[in-house]
């Protein structure tokens, strides 16, 4: 019987497809080391995205894949998570305390974008990442209600705000700073100024990801975010309905124009399941998100059902991922969150923080 070699192991791992990155372990550069001792093998893998709840299942899948090698003995697999900062628009660099900013956008309102953004942020935290969420919808902030938060953020120096904590998330919103009944009758420059303040005057701490919940459309806020704020990637939320897809297409095109990579599309309200009889019905049509993803050559990250519990949980200040963590909807949010950040992990890295500051002085 031929002895197992390192090349044998590497070739076998070339045929294991990471379900989140959707490419093999070698291409994803996930293999850090392979050690062979007779028939026994030890492998160190590194994932560039949070997957705490998925690691046991992932490790078992790799083990099962390697077991088919003839003559292999004991296999030991060690998996670590290493979330890096990724490249942003040209001329910008990541903000202090934030490795990656991910924008969650939609072309139109009413598609469940804010609910999706909150649950994705909570899903990333559940998978082991340090996460913040910024409510960039100045005219209609909804994050405070969804996270059960109110009141002014604290300030230790009178100049910056401490993020309000909710379910392990660092959060900020204009909704913390104004009365809920007060209309925001502001012109564009005031709105974009408020966004800049919320982002840059909040003391975000050691975040792997800051999720930015954008208002619907492609107006001043979106342009400010895409041109002046370092964004690592964007996610488009839509329903299968043709009208929603048309507007979502505009949002996707805007990010492409300013060189912000679109990490994928989330199809919300994809199918309604009757709570009484279990009958499934595609109220808003079907296949729209998949067709849009294929047309634009971006991934369809996942599809969420039209479920009244998702709405009730958000309205009550305990979103689905925390109120029903073992439910199917929470599982889908975690799957989408892993795929979203796995796609980002394949993008170019940002190494600006690695370079020393060089100061030239006349001596």
- Residue 323 assigned ligand-binding role: no
Backbone angles phi, psi at 207, to 5 degrees: -80, 135
- Tell me the DSSP string of 13-34: HTTPEETTTTEETTTTT-EEEE
Residue pair 225/94 in contact (Cβ under 8 Å)? The answer is no
Residues 122, 30 within the same domain: no
What tens digit of pLDDT does each residue of 244-254 get? 777 788 888 88
What tens digit of pLDDT does each residue of 257-314 get? 888 899 999 988 777 666 667 666 666 656 777 888 888 888 999 988 888 888 889 9
Residues 33, 131 within the same domain: no
Rounded-to-integer distance, Cα 117 and Cα 155, Å: 26
Share of the chain above pLDDT 90, in %: 50
- Residue 48 assigned ligand-binding role: no
Residues 293, 194 within the same domain: yes
Rounded-to-integer distance, Cα 201 and Cα 64, Å: 49
Residue 73 or 110, more confident: 73
* Cβ atoms < 10 Å from Cβ of 280: 10
Residues 119, 64 within the same domain: no
Cβ neighbours of residue 284 closer than 8 Å, sequence gap 6 or more? 239, 240, 241, 244, 269, 270, 306
> CA 166 → CA 147, 173, 308, distances in Å?
6, 12, 23
The answer to whether residue 354 sits within a structural domain is: no
- Residue 108 assigned ligand-binding role: yes
pLDDT value at residue 175: 87
Rounded-to-integer distance, Cα 344 and Cα 352, Å: 18
| Max avg pLDDT among 25-39, 169-183, 331-345 | 331-345
- Residue 21 assigned ligand-binding role: no
CATH code of the domain in which 147 resides:
3.40.50.300
Rounded-to-integer distance, Cα 183 and Cα 140, Å: 9
- Whether 355 has a pLDDT exceeding 80, the answer reads no
- Residue 278 assigned ligand-binding role: no
- Residue 107 assigned ligand-binding role: yes
- Confidence band of 362 (pLDDT split at 50, 70, 90): low
Residue pair 204/132 in contact (Cβ under 8 Å)? The answer is yes
The answer to whether residue 303 sits within a structural domain is: yes
Average pLDDT estimate for 23-33: 92
pLDDT value at residue 31: 93
- Whether 47 has a pLDDT exceeding 90, the answer reads yes
Cβ neighbours of residue 297 closer than 8 Å, sequence gap 6 or more? none
Residues 124, 212 within the same domain: yes
pLDDT value at residue 274: 67
Among candidate residues 91, 57, 49, 99, the one with its CA nearest the CA of residue 77? 57
Among candidate residues 328, 275, 276, 273, the one with its CA nearest the CA of residue 302? 328
> CA 333 → CA 115, 129, 210, 321, distances in Å?
11, 14, 17, 7
The answer to whether residue 271 sits within a structural domain is: yes
Residues 162, 29 within the same domain: no
CA angle 166, 185, 159 (to 5 degrees): 50
Residues 250, 162 within the same domain: yes
CATH code of the domain in which 52 resides:
3.30.300.130
- Residue 150 assigned ligand-binding role: no
Residue pair 178/103 in contact (Cβ under 8 Å)? The answer is no
Going edge to edge, which strands form the sheet with 40-47? 31-37, 40-47, 75-81
Residue 334 or 70, more confident: 334
Give the residue numbers spanning the domain of 23.
6-81
The answer to whether residue 358 sits within a structural domain is: no
How many domains in the chain?
A: 2
What tens digit of pLDDT does each residue of 201-215 get? 999 999 999 999 988
Residues 46, 114 within the same domain: no
As given in the structure block, the two tokens for residue 85 are: 């900062």
- Confidence band of 192 (pLDDT split at 50, 70, 90): confident
The answer to whether residue 55 sits within a structural domain is: yes
Question: Mean pLDDT lowest for which of 44-53, 151-160, 166-175, 349-358?
Answer: 349-358
Average pLDDT estimate for 110-130: 93
Residues 122, 53 within the same domain: no
Q: 55-67 vs 6-13: helix axis angle to the nearest 10? A: 120
The answer to whether residue 356 sits within a structural domain is: no
Q: Which residue has the tokens 């899948």?
A: 61
Residues 266, 297 within the same domain: yes
Residue 238 or 360, more confident: 238
Q: Which sign, positive or negative, has the C-alpha torsion 202, 207, 211, 212?
A: positive
Residue pair 147/115 in contact (Cβ under 8 Å)? The answer is no
- Confidence band of 337 (pLDDT split at 50, 70, 90): very high
What tens digit of pLDDT does each residue of 67-95 get? 888 888 899 999 999 999 999 988 888 89
The answer to whether residue 352 sits within a structural domain is: no
Helical H segments across the chain, by residue range: 6-13, 55-67, 113-126, 143-146, 188-200, 220-228, 242-257, 288-296, 308-315, 320-323, 328-345
Mean pLDDT rounded to a whole number for the chain: 87
Residues 56, 118 within the same domain: no
Residues 54, 102 within the same domain: no
- Residue 109 assigned ligand-binding role: yes
Share of the chain above pLDDT 70, in %: 89
pLDDT value at residue 194: 85
Residue pair 47/79 in contact (Cβ under 8 Å)? The answer is yes
């Amino acid at each position: 019987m031929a002895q197992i070699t390192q090349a044998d192991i590497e070739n076998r791992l070339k045929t294991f497809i990471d379900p989140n990155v959707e490419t093999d372990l070698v291409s994803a550069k996930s293999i850090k080391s392979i050690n062979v001792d007779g028939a026994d093998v030890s492998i160190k893998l590194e994932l560039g995205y949070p997957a705490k709840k998925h690691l046991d299942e992932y490790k078992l899948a790799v083990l099962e894949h390697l077991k088919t090698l003839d003559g292999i003995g004991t296999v030991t697999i060690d998996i670590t998570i290493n979330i890096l900062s990724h490249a942003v628009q040209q001329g910008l660099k990541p903000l202090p305390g934030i490795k990656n900013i991910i924008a969650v956008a939609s072309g139109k309102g009413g598609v469940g974008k804010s609910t999706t953004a909150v649950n994705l942020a909570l899903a990333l935290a559940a998978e082991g990442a340090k996460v913040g969420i910024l409510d960039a919808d100045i005219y209609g902030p909804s994050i405070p209600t969804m996270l059960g938060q109110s009141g002014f953020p604290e300030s230790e120096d009178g100049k910056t705000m401490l993020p309000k904590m909710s379910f392990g998330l660092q959060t900020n919103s204009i909704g913390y700073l104004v009365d809920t009944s007060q209309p925001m009758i502001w012109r564009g420059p005031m709105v974009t100024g408020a966004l800049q303040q919320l982002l840059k005057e909040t003391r975000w701490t050691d975040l792997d990801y800051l999720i930015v919940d954008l208002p619907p459309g492609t107006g001043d806020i979106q342009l400010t975010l895409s041109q002046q704020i370092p964004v690592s990637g964007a996610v488009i939320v839509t329903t299968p309905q043709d009208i929603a897809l048309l507007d979502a297409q505009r949002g996707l095109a805007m990010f492409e124009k300013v060189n912000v990579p679109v990490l994928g599309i989330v199809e919300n309200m994809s199918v309604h399941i009757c709570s009484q009889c279990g009958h499934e019905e595609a109220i808003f049509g079907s296949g729209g998100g998949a067709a849009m993803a294929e047309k634009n050559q971006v991934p369809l990250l996942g599809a969420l059902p039209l479920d009244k519990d998702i709405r009730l949980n958000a309205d009550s200040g305990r979103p689905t991922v925390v109120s029903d963590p073992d439910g199917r909807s929470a599982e889908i949010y975690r799957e989408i969150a892993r795929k979203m950040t796995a796609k980002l992990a394949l993008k170019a890295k940002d190494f600006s923080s690695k370079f020393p500051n060089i100061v030239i002085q006349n001596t």
